Structure 1
Amino acid sequence: MARANSFDRLRRLELLAAHLKQQGFCTIKDLAEMHRVSERTISRDLQLMRDQGLPIDADRGRGGGVRLDRNWGIGRLNLSYGEAVDLLISIAVAEQMKSPHFLANLSSIRRQLIASFSAEKRARIDRLKSRILVGTTASTFVQGTVASGDERTIQKLHQSFLDQHSIIVRYKDESGKTTTREIEAHYLLLNYPVWYVLAFDHHRGDVRTFRCDRLQSIEMTDNRFQVLPRTRIDRSLDGNNSLK
């Protein structure tokens, strides 16, 4: 428990520094509410940051406000494992899309991130990257039907994809009909800007494609699955399972 609390505090200190750098002036109350801790805890965190050399100024005349010198640079960015995985996958997608602009430093960033992981975690990340597929650009018709997905629902999909747990989804199909089914998120496909999950559908007993923005809700299960081989997915995409 002590180790978990220490990690939480380290993450909070990093987020506090980043927030102060971006926002300039904040009150102790606002920071406490943002991080769901007491004002006393935030005050102790800020004092620790000062002790570590961060130029944090207090303005007692304006509701306990604090600010960080904007000339100060954060210098080192500490990412959690999940955040680093997300960033590496985003880099992999950008590289696969082969845009000729603004990608010159991606290889260097990727190498630095990968170097920070153990060999075991690097292997795991490679397996995850192999499950992210980049296809063609979606048709104008499909792009015109894309809706903004629910953030919490997409987060649950992301977690089930990483942890290889099946999920119970409510899904609205192209005709507007909503069904509930249990699926396994084996692969993700980007037909820019539309994301699809290529999943084994327990109801159909076969691989099916679901558009991520049509997922209405997701309930996590404890049922783990083994990732299907890519050849099984390719056969499904070559069949009648169209991407609409």
Structure 2
Amino acid sequence: MISLQNQIILITGASSGIGTACAKVFAGAGARLILAARRLERLQELAANLRGEFGTETYLLQLDVRDRLAVESAISSLPNAWSEIDILINNAGLSRGLDKLHEGSFTDWEEMIDTNIKGLLYLTRYVVPGMVKRDRGHVVNIGSIAGHQTYPNGNVYCGTKAAVRAISEGLKQDLLGTPVRVTSVDPGMVETEFSDVRFHGDSDRAKKVYQGVQPLTPEDVADVIFFCTTRSPHVNINEVVLMPVDQASATLVNRRT
């Protein structure tokens, strides 16, 4: 098992859900954290909590991963003490809408494509060269069961997560011959702000997604990510698909009520 003491971990989408859960589990292991998200106040609150509980050193980036120039600037201007990133967790992602493809919103499509695919690519492109140069590193991409199984009205979101899966596979192949590892962690139902975002803040509709089901928690997913990143250096866990016991596929869910 690899020690993460003093390793530098960059987490995108760190202000909520799986990103926040990752920050906590890695803080507990003694890592130093670069926390990136659009909502700076949430990052500041998280950083204060981590400092109080674990004494964690943090560096905050108010960042929209869709903005390539902002990503380039953020990575290139990291202080020397924070520039050698050991682990990149590409967690920033979202779903917008649940419409038939021929009735979908162009704005929703662009937000999903720009965040889930292009944002992930931007961070990877600017961070991984340093990993290759230093002969160490690990990229963890947060995918989804939607990247394995398309479901009705999921069209573009499923397409973006299928892209994440393909990009992860391609990156692993391109890094062959280096010690840099690549993992895709692909959860099913996780109770986060995901559904609130998908339904544009309609919390009543969002709650129905998890009604009668015990979904995964962000901590469950963070635990799997932590496991993947702490294996022996010669071990690469390529892909993990995890779902709650109440879910058998993207569309098969056992509801108790």
Larger Cα Rg: Structure 1 or Structure 2?
1
Q: Into which bin does the TM-score normalised by the smaller protein fall?
A: 0.3 to 0.5
Q: Which has the higher contact order (CA 8 A, sep 6+)?
A: 2
TM-score by length of structure 2 reads 0.31
TM-score by length of structure 1 reads 0.32
